[in-house]
């Protein structure tokens, strides 16, 4: 009678082992295979930056692995950027040259021949009290005759004259930046003073120079736009050839789940490197042009009695040139990839 109890106990123990094995079985299954993990924003940002750094280095190394083909593209971009850069440097130097000249012009006040030297000096003191007068210089009649004889070479002919036909001249220099209306008012005030024969203000040459500078700036904009379009086409065609050479690789990447952004990223960095190195080479070419032309321009300025010195491209303009080159390279690559990437499907 005691034997059924062990059997029932055995059955209970076996059933409890089965239930225990059933409870522990999902835990063993959960410990096998891959498990999903949550990645925070910081981890994602770190991975994104790491991949960008990796792609940037790899694309640069690929360009350096093909030095001849890369050098040709870089030279085309550099020359296309050097042309408007050289024009910009020339216009900037002309602008600085015009700034160093008395922009307001010089008013030449011709006195009457009957005015004595004492009266001329008194008139000079009166002119110094007027508005918009920075300084004055009085050239007497005898000094004017000597200067004319020395500059013209007519010493013998002037010696035959019985009297000095030249009047005394008062040179009036307004401050820099004086407006044309104020200059006109000053000229009329000088011309109406007693003992003044005529007051002459010549700003025509300065207006012509300003018109030429404005025209040069327009030419730079037009030429720069055309050459920027040329850079876009050059970089776009280069990226198109690179895409055609990696069609199978792109299909495999898309087949395993790679997005268009993932595929596009190396080509964008390639265009960025094209623009950056091309911009640096363009800056070096402009610096070389400045070194070659600096000496002759200085000698020419010294012959005219001017201390003008040819200035290189400024730091801000150089940075703008580099950023523009990088932007054009990136846009050319983006345009080419956007056109051809959708046509490549696994």
**In this predicted model, which residue has the larger pLDDT, 320 or 211?**
320
Collapse the DSSP code of 185 into the 3-class scheme (helix H, G, I; strand E, B; otherwise coil) and give the result.
helix
Q: For 241-266, what is each residue's pLDDT tens digit?
A: 888 888 888 888 888 877 778 888 89
Which position has the higher pLDDT, 33 or 226? 226
- Give the pLDDT band of residue 311 (cuts 50, 70, 90): confident
Confidence check: pLDDT of 93 > 60:
yes
Given this model, what pLDDT does residue 342 score? 73
193-213 pLDDT per residue, tens: 888 888 887 666 667 777 888
* The pair of three-digit structure tokens given for residue 266, joined into one six-digit string: 């190396």
C-alpha dihedral sign at 31, 35, 40, 46: positive
Chain mean position to CA 286: 12
Residue 287: pLDDT above 90?
yes
Spell out the CATH class of 107-201. alpha beta
Query: Quick one: pLDDT band at residue 314, thresholds 50, 70, 90?
Result: confident
Percentage of residues of the chain with pLDDT beyond 90 = 23
Task: Give the H/E segment covering residue 198.
Answer: strand 196-201
Average per-residue pLDDT for the chain: 79
Reply yes or no on whether the pLDDT at 322 is more than 90.
yes
**pTM value surpassing 0.85:** no
Give the pairing of strands 169-173 and 135-139: antiparallel
The pLDDT of residue 157 is above 60: no
Does the structure show a pLDDT above 90 at 79? yes
One-character DSSP codes across 208-256: HHHHHHHHHHHHHHHHHHHHHHHHHHHHHHHHHHHHHHTHHHHHHHHHT
H or E element in which residue 43 lies: helix 41-65
Domain locations along the chain:
53-100+207-340, 107-201
pLDDT (0 to 100) of residue 149: 62
Q: CA neighbours within 13 Å on the CB side: how many for 37?
A: 6
- pLDDT-wise least confident of 86-95, 126-135, 286-295, 297-306: 297-306
Residues 158, 148: contact at Cβ < 8 Å? Answer: yes
pLDDT at 208: 75
pLDDT tens readout for residues 7-54: 444 444 444 444 444 444 444 444 444 454 566 778 777 877 888 888
């Amino acid at each position: 009678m005691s034997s059924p109890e062990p059997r029932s106990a055995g059955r209970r123990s076996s059933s409890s082992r089965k239930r225990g094995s059933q409870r522990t079985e999902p835990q063993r299954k959960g410990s096998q295979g891959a498990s999903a993990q949550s990645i925070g924003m910081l981890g994602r940002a770190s991975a994104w930056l790491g991949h960008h750094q990796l792609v940037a280095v790899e694309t640069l190394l690929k360009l350096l692995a093909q030095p001849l083909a890369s050098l040709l593209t870089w030279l085309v971009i550099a020359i296309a950027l050097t042309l408007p850069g050289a024009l910009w440097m020339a216009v900037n130097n002309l602008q600085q040259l015009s700034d160093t000249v008395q922009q307001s012009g010089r008013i030449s006040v011709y006195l009457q021949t009957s005015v004595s030297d004492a009266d001329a000096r008194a008139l000079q003191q009166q002119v110094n009290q007027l508005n918009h007068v920075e300084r004055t210089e009085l050239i007497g009649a005898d000094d004017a005759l000597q200067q004319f004889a020395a500059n013209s070479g007519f010493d013998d002919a002037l010696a035959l004259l019985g009297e000095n036909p030249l009047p005394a001249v008062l040179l009036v220099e307004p401050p820099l930046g004086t407006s044309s209306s104020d200059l006109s008012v000053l000229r009329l005030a000088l011309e109406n003073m007693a003992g003044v024969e005529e007051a002459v203000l010549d700003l025509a040459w300065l207006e012509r120079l300003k018109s030429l500078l404005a025209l040069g700036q327009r030419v730079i904009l037009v030429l720069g736009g055309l050459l920027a379009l040329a850079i876009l086409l050059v970089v776009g065609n280069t990226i198109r050839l690179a895409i055609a050479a990696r069609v199978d690789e792109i299909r495999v990447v898309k087949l395993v789940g790679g997005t268009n952004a993932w595929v596009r990223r190396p080509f964008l960095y390639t265009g960025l490197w094209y623009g950056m190195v091309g911009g640096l080479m363009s800056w070096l070419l402009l610096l070389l042009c400045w070194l070659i032309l600096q000496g002759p321009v200085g000698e020419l300025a010294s012959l005219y009695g001017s201390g003008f010195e040819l200035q290189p491209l400024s730091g801000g303009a150089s940075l703008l040139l580099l950023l523009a080159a990088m932007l054009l390279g990136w846009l050319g690559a983006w345009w080419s990839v956007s056109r051809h990437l959708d046509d490549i499907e696994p």
